[in-house]
Structure 1
């Protein structure tokens, strides 16, 4: 078939210059029928596709080739065979044809399969405050000079397209709760529906259709914020396509090139600033004359009012060791010595750990996300020191213990004296009853007087605890004497004269 350049020359020679067909045939070396076809059809290009492709050698092997192509398409990209390998396998079965026939057939097979499997979608539109979408992504950053894979929570309002992102070390349930609370606090409200995939922290069982058995704590969170959760069909990411697209956008704009920060707090501050800057600078996809931020400001009035922070913790039961330690998430946390011997409830929040026993808080720590770390609170071990004062010098909880200034000066002065550890333990034990501010003040007063012994400090504390001077009692007017008695010493003289 002649190319478009030859067809163009034929048309120009005939219609513009008025040359005869036989002259065009002679000069351009084309057939008379070709020239007539170009002139009569008025087309500027011709294409030809064979309706029926004869495959004399491949025909008997089509079923085997179809099976090979189908099996190969079902493999992962890394394990998928090339067409040369498939051709060699077909030759091993007895096929005597060439590779080109296999290549053309595979191309047709792939095109037909794509037309069968291709899916059409209906564009969605959401009313203000109707729904939001939630998802996770994994990003690589440098935190404190160490390469770390962080888990990023994404929340997107479906109407205004406003986005919220926050990074966490885990994808656990307490992180889900914290991400929702921070997002809703930033939005100053929430939507009527929340669209999720079937993450294990939210969905326990998937039934037929849209029916799900949600996690009990997750339902409590949704009830607190007045949200109706909706789970997508498994492996159907397009049902929450907005937040899926947001993952790619955030990765491209916020994490490329690789981010270098000192802490998670710095990273999350950058993400929040980046989200606000993006929303203020980019137009809304459906209303180009307004930015995403302007649509978000207008949508706020339709949001369900923010209900306040949900007590989003993940609770587990644990035992207390003889060293006053509780193990959780591959790390150990200290508790009060009085908690030994009975189980405790560990409440894990996104950034802290709270340990309770019989409804009483026996420990609270900043959460550690490494492995085999031990987090001490030295005050938990002070009651033990009362029985074992020698542990103050080499006890692990007391290493690098930062005390208030006056208390630390007393400790350093007592460290070089005989019985200094025991005296320091007596002072520390007083903190449990009198409180740290009172003991700190007593230590400061003792140091001003040039002394630092435990007896002096405890004496000062005892004087501080003494009751104040009672107030003078006023005599009621009805009991007041009207005639004050006069002293008469002569009565004593009469007694002295008696025999």
Structure 2
């Protein structure tokens, strides 16, 4: 037991001050002092005062604060200047060039001052602690708000490593996440992902939150910010409001800031190589489905279930999706292509020198001639690339048959078409062009490929345009792997035999069934 507590205990038991002094071996003045403090404390109510009931606690002594001999006002001012410089660098995108405490200490030593690192550290920590930011806990109302942000992810698509943009939406209440990959962060991509998000969740939050990205904020004039025309049109169409974060205050949309890193890690940390961008999109969608089926850390419900509650309180979607494409007027050049953002896209021949309308979306390019959709291409976000459709040039190939072998059109054609040409039509370009006309007019590529397989079973090298067309025009295709022989199959086999006899074939027609 502490001596002070022992003295008061003896006093309460009726012991005299002189007796207490003898027992505790303390001076009578000390005993009297403790007893007096005890009696006075019983008369004072300290429950509403910022002091403790300390009469029963051991005595404490004030620590002597001596005058600092090393940390002079001159050194303090220098350290404050270093701290101010660091703050300026943070505000001017030079965060990585700030001085650390060890750099400040070395700077003082180089200037001839004798001071320890610990002294410098304690003073800097004390100064910076004065200006630490206070954060306000948010209340998230269901269906009221959604946050948007971009992130970057590096993927290997078809063997090529490239950086892609990850567009992410997060609903703060449910923490439900939606994301999509893009090859650009341009305005049309921002509009496109908004339409896809609204179509996905099937309701419109009242407020969309952004940082000060260029595709949303057109200009700064003092503290006034001007929204871009495209975002104004989008918000007017869907009837939502736009809220912008303060400059360099990403914590004001902290849910989506965290979601960008979280989704990127969960989706692409272990798998980053894909055969195509569409395969990467599918993998991202599957990952999001798994994440949204997890339980919310506070509400103890699945994110997707909480999102459905938000949907009940949010604005219903009563309009068709917003058209996010840019309308461009283009001139068809001598290659029967139009140039959009330094990339060429083919147009059906016969319109060279004519101006047409093009709708350039985030994923597709649609070409209109006299108000009719005549061609559609997947958008290319590179530069000086060519997107050419083989069927757009068939009339020209009839006049320039030799050009097809080394044409860019054939190089970009489907792999089945290229294989068909390389296996059966080298040196027979006229027949090949006739077959392409048939495929384009009747949309029977799969039927043609089946006919080629059937003809190859008769005899290798027996494939020709005339024989392919004959097989394709049969009412019922012959199944090479079937075992059921009906009247139609029997007649088809007889036709094949007769056709083989016309060309004096020695090989016997293959029997099916």
Give the TM-score, by structure 1 length: 0.68
Distance 2:415 2:106 in 1: 77
Structure 2 counterparts to residues 375-414 of structure 1, below 5 A: 375-399=387-411, 401-402=413-414
Correspondence for 1:290 = 301
Structure 2 counterparts to residues 118-197 of structure 1, below 5 A: 118-144=132-158, 146-197=160-211
- Alpha-carbon contact 2:218-2:225 (below 8 Å) kept: no
- Alpha-carbon contact 2:2-2:58 (below 8 Å) kept: no
Which stretch shifts more, 423-432 or 223-232? 423-432
Superimposed CA distance per residue, residues 360-407 of structure 1 (whole angstroms, 9 cap, x where no aligned partner)? 4343112334554422201112232244333233333134745999x9
* 1:66 to 2:84 alignment: no
- Alpha-carbon contact 2:101-2:124 (below 8 Å) kept: no
- Alpha-carbon contact 2:394-2:437 (below 8 Å) kept: yes
Distance 1:168 1:388 in 2: 39
- Change beyond 3 A, Cα 1:77–1:289: closer
Distance 2:258 2:465 in 1: 68
Give the TM-score, by structure 2 length: 0.66
- Change beyond 3 A, Cα 1:400–1:253: closer
Correspondence for 1:303 = 314
> 1:111: how far off?
2.4
- Change beyond 3 A, Cα 1:374–1:23: farther
Higher gyration radius (CA): 1
Correspondence for 1:80 = 98
Which stretch shifts more, 337-346 or 371-380? 337-346
Structure 2: 5+ residue stretches without partners: 10-19, 39-53, 474-513
Which of 127, 132, 150 matches 1:112?
127
- Change beyond 3 A, Cα 1:384–1:9: farther
* 1:229 to 2:242 alignment: yes
Correspondence for 2:499 = none
Which of 335, 350, 353 matches 1:341?
353
Which stretch shifts more, 254-263 or 125-134? 254-263
- Alpha-carbon contact 2:389-2:412 (below 8 Å) kept: no
Distance 2:61 2:386 in 1: 76
